[in-house]
Amino acid sequence: MAASHSLCSHLSCNSYISNNTYFNHGRFVSPSSFKPHGPSKNKSHSRRISSIRATASNSKTSNQQVEIVYDLEEKFNKLADEVDRNAGMSRLTLFSPCKINVFLRITGKRADGYHDLASLFHVISLGDEIKFSLSPSKSKDRLSTNVPGIPLDERNLIIKALNLFRKKTGIENYFWIHLDKKVPTGAGLGGGSSNAATALWAANQFSGFVATEKELQEWSSEIGSDIPFFFSRGAAYCTGRGEVVEDVASPGHFEVPMVLVKPPEACSTAEVYKRLRLDQTSHIDPSVLLDKVLRDGISQDVCVNDLETPAFDVLPSLKRLKQRIAAAGRGQYDAVFMSGSGSTIVGVGSPDPPQFLFDDEEYNGVFLSEANFITRSENQWYTRPVSAYSDAPAESDE
Ligand code: C5P
């Protein structure tokens, strides 16, 4: 019997979920109809006619007036944009992409209890969408989300980031925020860290960019080690707890697709670090890994992750999943490895998941997504790549 695949249970599952479907940038696609290598039929430019209004004919001139109203949402957005232009900026929607660790070496334990790492982080095209609106409140942000089980109070990194921005700048803007979550949590993809970085960017944009990107990056390390990375251009060699960020140019040979496979079980970062045995990590110099991957591209030997062994201890089924993907995808993927502290397994080189994930009931409920490496330009936040705009239902030919 074919397995059904879905966003993990903590993500909203809607009517698109059915047997033999999987999630592809926010849209569930049946494997038989999924043609990742063919040119995607992007019809986002073809506008849907929502209504046609005809006024009564003028009997004298026999003129008829016909107004064609294209997509209503587009019309409303235009009107709202006009209001914003007149009244100053009041709302903003930003893409909040996640990351993978191409390699992750743990180089030692620190006096503060944390571990030093050395890792090539790279932003990828899977991401959430966050809507910010300026609130009339002078004391409270209000956060909502499409996903149950996410704290919406001060424990949420978005609220922490907004509090941090107000503390650092003295600018008392409060917001209504809606988080449309697509990145699974407990996945080693830095989804929460990206949300925090995106919130800092938004608060700064609302304030007229009072802070520099460097300041946002420095401040953000106060609330999480993985947040400063997102203020790089998308590719960075990170050391310390992860907060020492050295931008690297994303090489051309990173233009390869990948597939993300995450079982429903999450990995607790604290638990994974607790099981880490420093005497059992790899000994390869991370700067050698960096040079090699930037020069030659991604291959199995450079995709070292010292947190795999302790994560497999925490979640033994993850080891088998990785082995099966590597075995099934031989020749299909350039490398198969775990991201961060898990539990996402990444296959770089192809956007296609191995067939056994569809055939084997054991993998019911596994989260699957294709992705690409992405970067951003200076003074611009990340944007969802055009190829990833497949959330909207396919439009029929008209
Ligand atoms: O970064 P996060 O707060 O998710 O980390 C959870 C726990 O993982 C930390 O409290 C710490 O015990 C461990 N950790 C670590 N070294 C790091 C990052 C996390 O030991 N660089």
- How many angstroms separate the alpha carbon of residue 270 from the centre of ligand 1? 5
- How many angstroms separate the alpha carbon of residue 39 from the centre of ligand 1? 42
The neighbour count for residue 27, using CB atoms within 10 Å, is 16
Number of the ligand 1 atom closest to the C-alpha atom of 276: 20
| Helix (H/G/I), strand (E/B), else coil: 252 | helix
Name the phi and psi angles at 216, rounded to 5: -60, -40
Number of the ligand 1 atom closest to the C-alpha atom of 113: 20
Atom 2 in ligand 1: which residue has the minimum CA distance?
A: 269
Give the pLDDT confidence score for residue 54 in this predicted structure: 36
- How many angstroms separate the alpha carbon of residue 274 from the centre of ligand 1? 9
Distance spanning both ends of the chain, measured CA to CA? 38
Number of the ligand 1 atom closest to the C-alpha atom of 106: 21
- How many angstroms separate the alpha carbon of residue 116 from the centre of ligand 1? 10
Give the pLDDT confidence score for residue 63 in this predicted structure: 47
- How many angstroms separate the alpha carbon of residue 308 from the centre of ligand 1? 15
Give the pLDDT confidence score for residue 378 in this predicted structure: 94
Pairing of strands 142-145, 174-180: parallel
In one letter, which amino acid is 367?
Answer: F
- How many angstroms separate the alpha carbon of residue 389 from the centre of ligand 1? 34
Among 99, 110, 115, 278, name the best residue to mutate to test ligand 1's pocket (greatest count of ligand atoms within 8 A of Cβ): 115
Give the pLDDT confidence score for residue 242 in this predicted structure: 97
Give the pLDDT confidence score for residue 50 in this predicted structure: 37
Say whether 153 is catalytic: no
- How many angstroms separate the alpha carbon of residue 96 from the centre of ligand 1? 22
The neighbour count for residue 202, using CB atoms within 10 Å, is 26
Give the pLDDT confidence score for residue 68 in this predicted structure: 47
Say whether 226 is catalytic: yes
Among 99, 225, 243, 276, name the best residue to mutate to test ligand 1's pocket (greatest count of ligand atoms within 8 A of Cβ): 225
Atom 4 in ligand 1: which residue has the minimum CA distance?
A: 269
Q: Among 212, 146, 136, which residue's Cα sits nearest to residue 175? A: 136
Atom 10 in ligand 1: which residue has the minimum CA distance?
A: 270
Give the pLDDT confidence score for residue 331 in this predicted structure: 85
Atom 12 in ligand 1: which residue has the minimum CA distance?
A: 270
Atom 9 in ligand 1: which residue has the minimum CA distance?
A: 270
Among 273, 274, 339, name the best residue to mutate to test ligand 1's pocket (greatest count of ligand atoms within 8 A of Cβ): 273
Give the pLDDT confidence score for residue 51 in this predicted structure: 36
Q: From residue 122, give the alpha-carbon distance in Å to each of 14, 67, 97, 179.
A: 30, 48, 10, 22
Q: What is the pLDDT along the chain (398 residues), one digit of tens a residue?
A: 344 443 333 332 222 222 233 443 333 233 322 233 333 333 333 333 333 333 334 444 444 444 444 455 565 566 555 555 555 679 999 999 999 999 999 999 999 999 999 999 999 999 999 999 999 999 999 999 999 999 999 999 999 999 999 999 999 999 999 999 999 999 999 999 999 999 999 999 999 999 999 999 999 999 999 999 999 999 999 999 999 999 999 888 899 999 999 999 999 999 999 999 999 999 999 999 999 999 999 999 999 999 999 999 999 999 999 999 999 978 899 999 999 999 999 999 999 999 999 999 999 999 999 999 999 999 999 999 987 545 444 333 33
365, containing H or E segment: none
Q: Among 362, 372, 119, which residue's Cα sits nearest to residue 259? A: 372
Number of the ligand 1 atom closest to the C-alpha atom of 242: 21
Q: From residue 325, give the alpha-carbon distance in Å to each of 87, 260, 334.
A: 53, 11, 12
**Which residue among the candidates 128, 141, 180, 226 is catalytic per the annotation?**
226
Place of tokens 């109203």: 69
- pTM, 2 dp: 0.80
Give the pLDDT confidence score for residue 252 in this predicted structure: 81
